[in-house]
Each structure stands twice: as structure tokens, then as C-alpha cells.
Amino acid sequence: MKYILLFVFCLGVNTTIFCQGTSSAEQKKSITTTHEIDGIQFDHEHTWEELLKKAKDENKLIYVDGYTTWCGPCKQMSKEVYTKKEVGDAYNANFISFKAQIDTSDNDNDYVKSHYQDFKAIATKYNVEVYPTHLFINGDGEMVHKAVGGMPAEKFIELAANASNPEKQFGTLNKKFEAGERSPAFLYNFVKAAASAYEPELSNKALDLYLPTQKDLFTKENLELILTITSSAENKNFALIKNNMAKINAVMGAGMAEQKTKSIILSSIVYPELYSNAANPDFNKIHSKVAAAVDKKYADNIINYVKINMLKSKKDWAGVDKAVTAYGPSNLSANELNDVAWTFFENVADKSLLKKALDWSLQSIQKESGSANTDTVANLYFKLGNKAKAIEYEEKALALAKQAGENTTEYEKVLENFRK
């Protein structure tokens, strides 16, 4: 089974490949009706100007859900978070809630069309570029707080509390920062608030002011900031990460520094080069840039990693096998090994390649055992004809799912099928 990867937010129109579209019926349901009697009650009656006046009269903030029709995390929030009673309790009593659709689509209904101007004005004024964006606006039209991304209910309720707390409000902290406040405690809170608001320039600027005030950069709190904020190989904190992996892992957990290093290299060097020349990537150029940022061996590995994923997209399974072998399965994370193994399970009939996939999936659970990758092992054993092993590992997958509080329906169905 594949891991269910939550795209925490959608950034710009290019990410439409990761996000599902919305049908007219879905859109009508999500826009023109409330989200369940117990969930957030979004206002569908007033214009933006009327809402600002209402907020001022009632001394409340307006919560704005800035979303697009193609954004997966936005739809997940609408279906799984806004509908919860505890979320409704936190928001309905304290905020006036409003949904702002930032894009346009052929399925837009009359309500959405009538608010195009309001939605566009909100996106422009409050710099809405990442979806979902959560805005908290006062009756004067000032942004008091801002955050981005999909999140579980408990985090979304925490967001409401932060929006009501002047010590945590991004807008309030930003005003203090602009006025010259530079105490370490303030800077710490401001870095976190700016990062949550997806304001990378501000969060990096504040982090650069905060870190010199710290005697020990390798505390959990400081490393959380560094790992969260650093996103470019050109950032000076990247050197701190790549040169202190053992120290960072000792505090943050095994593999955290390597994972962050890989993320930075991919997002700031590899992917921009691939996007600029997708049809014929210049791997020598990419290799040179990665080697300059880290070293030649790391560049060799990252090129192989990229080729694995490109070959997967082309369904060149023999090529994927060669690339994984060249890269070295030990260099892939548990999730990455599981992803390749499950892709082989779904697409490959050749038994020699399926045996390779089984080996990768077994290495995956050795690295980090979970219900999804254990289920992959079980399915590969079954496809290879080893029913006893398939049942053994599917029972383990089911137990792990129960232990983690996951939905077990699919595991139970698979196990029932194996036992026939």
C-alpha cells in the first residue's frame, strides 16, 4: 500500500498536477451550504464590505479560508476539519467565517461569480499565494493573523487560539518587528509566526537576527527553527545542517538532517533545473551544482534518485531496477523504498523484478515499520505465490493499523482475500 502523502499546501498554479479538480456539485455543496450543523458556519449572505462592518460592530475577527478549486489540502480541510463539532465550537463563537475562492473555473456557480471582485481583492491585499491560506482580519480590514496549509483539527483549533492572542498574532508581531523590537523571546515567536504565514523573507531575516543571541544553536527549539526555515542551499544555515548531521540527529531524531539536506537540494537546485528543461534535463549541470553545494558522492546519489523517479514515470521497470541498484537501496528512506516497491506490485508481472521489489519492501520495514509498508510486503508475497507469508505480514499490517488508530477496513478485506 502506498503511504498517503498529505500535500500540506498547494503553491501556485503549477501544483495542479498534485490536486484534484472539483465538480460543480461538489463546489455547490462546499460553497453554498454550511459544513454540517456542528461545524464552521460560513457566511454566504454578505459582501466583503458588509462583513467588515459586521466584524467591527460585533468586535470580532473575520476568519477567511482562501482556497482554490484544484487544491487537495483545501478539500481535505473542508471535508475532514471544518465539519467537526469541536472546530465549530472554537470558530463560530469567536469569528465570522468566510470562504474566498481565489481561482475561477467553468463550474463556478452564481454565488461565486457574484463575489469574484471580493475574492480578487482579498487575494491581492493579503498576498494569498499558497492554498489554503487562513486569514484573520479585523473590522478595519487589517490582517491580524495568517497561516497557510492543511492541518488536523487540533492544530486548526490551536490556530484560532493564536489568532486571538497578541503574543502569537503574525500581524501584531510584524508591526512590532517593523518598529524595532529585537528581544530574543520576541524574535523566536516572530520567526515561527512568519514561517506559519509563509513569509520566507521575513522568517529568514528574523532567524538571522535571533540565532546570534543563542549560546547553543543545537537545542531542540533552535534546531526546529533552523530546519523549518532553511530552504535554499545558498542559505548560510544550510552549511550548519550539512556539517553537523550527527549532532542534529542526536537531538531531532535519526535521519532528520539527511532528510532536510535532501529536501533542500531537490527543491532549490534539482527541481528548478528539471522544470526549466523537462524534455532533456542537463544532468551534468545538475550534478555540478549539487557537487558544489555538498560533494561529488552526494551529487552521484541525487542524480540516481532523480533518474529513479523519471524512469518510474516512463514505466521503464528494468531501468528503475538498475537505477535503484546504482543508487543503493540503503540511501532511500522507508517511504521511498515502499513507494517503488508498491509501484512494482501494481505494474510489474516479471517475477525476477517482483523479487527485487519484495527485497526493497523488506528493507523498508527494517528502516521503519508501519501498516502501509508491511501491507506492501504482504501483497508482494501473495503476488509471488507465497500465501503463508502474505497472511503473516498482512496480519502484522492490520495490527499496526489498529495500534496507530487507522482505518482498518482495507487491511481486513485484503486479509480475507488472502485466506480464501
pLDDT per position as a tens digit, 261-296: 999 999 999 999 998 987 888 999 999 999 999 999
Neighbours of 404 (CB within 10 A): 10
- Is the same domain home to 247 and 355? no
User: pLDDT at residue 36 above 60?
Assistant: no
Give yes or no: residues 96 and 16 share one domain: yes
Continuous segment of H or E residues that includes residue 10: strand 10-11
Residues 15 and 160 in one domain: yes
Tell me what the mean pLDDT of segment 41-59 comes to.
96
Question: Is residue 1 included in any domain, yes or no?
Answer: no
- Domain shared by 227 and 132, yes or no: no
Residue 395 in this model has a pLDDT that exceeds 80: yes
Residue keyed to cell 531542540: 220
Q: 113-117, 301-305, 348-352, 370-374: which has the minimum mean pLDDT?
A: 301-305
Residue 33 has pLDDT above 90, yes or no: no
In a domain, 325, yes or no: no
**Which of 164, 183, 216 marks a domain boundary?**
164
pLDDT confidence band for 37 (50 / 70 / 90): low
Of the candidates 164, 170, 60, the residue with the CA atom closest to the CA atom of residue 126: 170
**What are the cell numbers at 55?**
466584524
User: What per-residue string of b and e applies to 267-283 under the rule 16 or more CB within 10 Å gives b?
Assistant: ebbbeebbeeeeeebee
- Output the pLDDT for position 331: 86
CATH of the domain at 129: 3.40.30.10
> Is the residue at 140 inside a domain?
yes
Q: Which residues, 6 or more positions from 332, have their beta carbon under 8 angstroms from its beta carbon?
A: 305, 324, 340, 360
For residue 170, being part of any structural domain is answered with no
What percentage of residues in the chain have a pLDDT greater than 90?
82
In a domain, 411, yes or no: yes
Same domain membership, residue 185 and residue 152: no
What cell does 168 get?
Answer: 502569537
pLDDT tens digits, 318-375 = 999 999 998 889 888 899 899 999 999 999 999 999 999 999 999 999 999 999 999 9
Pairing of strands 61-67, 95-101: parallel
**DSSP-derived 3-state class of residue 138:** coil
205 lies in the same domain as 143: no
* pLDDT exceeds cutoff 90 at 304: no
Q: In the predicted model, what is the mean pLDDT of residues 94-103?
A: 97
134: β partners: 65, 147
Looking at residue 322, what is its pLDDT?
Answer: 93
Classify residue 160: in a domain, yes or no.
yes
**Does 24 have pLDDT greater than 80?**
no
DSSP string, 114-126: HTHHHHHHHHHHT
Helices (H), 151-217: 153-163, 170-178, 184-196, 200-210
Please list, residue by residue across 150-172, b when 16 or more beta carbons sit within 10 angstroms of its beta carbon and e when fewer do. bbebeebbebbebbbeeebbbbb
Whether pLDDT at 35 is above 90: no
Residue 288 C-alpha cell reads as 555540478
Cα dist from 2 to 335, 341, 371, 388, 407, whole Å: 9, 9, 10, 22, 14
Q: Are 28 and 158 members of one domain?
A: yes
Q: Where are the alpha helices (DSSP H) in 197-244?
A: 200-210, 220-229, 236-243
76, 243, 280 from 167: Cα distances, Å: 29, 34, 50
Same domain, 152 and 114: yes
Give me the pLDDT at residue 278, please: 79
Specify whether 81 is located in the same domain as 206: no
Q: Please name which of 155, 141, 133, 129 lies closest in space to residue 53, comparing C-alpha atoms.
A: 141
Number of domains, the chain: 3
Are residues 154 and 180 both part of a single domain? Answer: no
Q: Tell me: the pLDDT tens digits for 163-215? A: 999 999 999 999 999 999 999 999 999 999 999 999 999 999 999 999 999 99
Question: Mutual orientation of helices 200-210 and 220-229 as an angle, nearest 10°?
Answer: 150
Q: Which residues contact 208 (CB under 8 A, 6 or more apart)?
A: none
Among 4-18, 185-199, 320-334, 393-407, the range scoring the smallest mean pLDDT is: 4-18
Question: Which of 253, 286, 310 represents a domain boundary (last residue)?
Answer: 253
Q: Residues with Cβ < 8 Å from 300, sequence gap 6 or more?
A: 287
Neighbours of 114 (CB within 10 A): 11
Is residue 383 in a domain? Answer: yes
- Residues 138, 16 share a domain: yes
- Which of 218, 253, 288 delimits the end of a domain? 253
Q: Give the domain range for residue 228.
A: 175-253
Element (H, E) at 296: helix 296-313
More confident residue, 170 or 35: 170
What average pLDDT does this structure show over 109-131?
95
Count CB atoms within 10 A of the CB of residue 361. 28
DSSP letters, 23-84, are -HHHHHHHHHS-S-TTS--B--S--HHHHHHHHHHHT-EEEEEEE-TT-HHHHHHHHHTTT-
Mean pLDDT of the chain, nearest integer: 90
Is 182 within a domain? yes
Provide the pLDDT confidence category of residue 9 given band limits of 50, 70 and 90. Answer: low
| Residue 401, domain CATH | 1.25.40.10
Distance in Å from the first CA to the final CA of the chain: 20
pLDDT reading at 25 higher than 60: no
pLDDT band at 301 (very low <50, low <70, confident <90, very high): confident
Choose between 37 and 265: higher pLDDT.
265
Burial class (CB in 10 A: 0-12, 13-18, 19+), 331: middle
Q: How far apart are CA 235 and CA 65, in angstroms?
A: 32
Do 199 and 125 lie in one domain? The reply is no
Rg (CA), the chain: 24
Q: What is the mean pLDDT of residues 14-41?
A: 48
Q: Looking at residue 32, what is its pLDDT?
A: 38
pLDDT of 50 = 97
